[in-house]
Structure 1
Amino acid sequence: MPNFTVQRRLAASELGVGESRVWINPDPEVASELADAITREDIRAHIEAGNIKAKPKKGNSRARFRLRAEKRAYGHRKGPGRRRGAKGARAPPKEIWISRIRALRRHLREMRDSEKIERHAYRLLYRKAKGGEYRSIAHLDAYIKAKGLMRE
């Protein structure tokens, strides 16, 4: 089979694709005609005849990524061996604070509305939560129980 370097280059230019995406008909009868095609006009004629075509663009399959993402959402593939970067880089301290304070405030609001704690106790606990006194809802509940702020 002849060397089609020039034809491939010209065809790539005419088709507007990279040289690796140019398909040239491997049929020996057509090959001799193609070897003589050295002008852009000749190449355009072969493109119209279907002897030269642009191969479709290749893409990367997302199937493996989706499978990994699904497992990570479930909590898998997140162990210490997978982690790079500091704790604060993986989950910024501000985001941790936001999720914690929202949970505490929601819990306090529910307790106040269901009258499990009095309004003045709610305000006191709210201020303490804002000051970062409680690590979690469980810690807040333990404090309420220890101080006897829960209504019977």
Structure 2
Amino acid sequence: MVVNLRTKKRLVSRVVGVGLDRIKFDPERSDDIADAITRANIRGLITAGVITIKAAKGTSRGRSKFKKAQKKKRGTTTGSKKGRKGARVGKKEVYVKKVRSLRYRLRVAKDRKEITNPEFWTLYRKVSGNTVRNIAHLRGLIEEIKEHRKSRT
């Protein structure tokens, strides 16, 4: 005898919180499923393995992985680049990276007592104002300050 289990499927769906397509009933135990009328009965059948929940299907990443591998093969050497330097890495990103590294170097110099607090802040403002070109330039400025300090004493 064929039993209509559509309502049971809906009940299982609400109990477990999955869609109707993911619910699978054991055809041998359809009488037990038909007898189950409470949520507790349904849970019992799930633990017994009479009702199974299929795994959710996700989006396949195969094609995207392949594309990524292809992209990796292609070179990013000087001949392959298109657009100016600022189109690949923004001016602001470059500035922020530079300023952070310079401020870190300044902090290290101050901790090592190479520069005093007022000297630190004058250099800090120069870094913020984009006067300091790079770490080598900063090192030169610190050396200048040290020489200036020696000549005064």
TM, length-normalised to structure 1: 0.50
TM, length-normalised to structure 2: 0.50
